[in-house]
Amino acid sequence: MLSYDWDTSPEQRRKVPFNYGYIPDKASSLTDMRWLLYYLAADMGLFFLYKILRRDFLSFVNLTGIVRLIASVLAVRIAKV
């Protein structure tokens, strides 16, 4: 925590404005939520694809039609998280 406080200190930033320590001057690029959402969507999509290719996607609950598909998506997603 000391390093973060030191690196984001306005006085220290004036000395080296571009990049001081671990935290770059434009720290918003580190916390861009779009990249996190892209990563999570790709991770979940690859996991679903893996389950489908292994024929392990549909649940074994005695359901039919779209209800079975919805239950399977929920079960696989809950198991992944």
The predicted structure's pLDDT at residue 29:
54
Backbone φ and ψ of 16, nearest 5°? -130, 90
The predicted structure's pLDDT at residue 78:
87
Size (the chain), residues: 81
User: What pTM value is reported for the model?
Assistant: 0.55
Question: Helices H, strands E: what count in the chain?
Answer: 4, 2
Give percent of the chain with pLDDT exceeding 90.
12
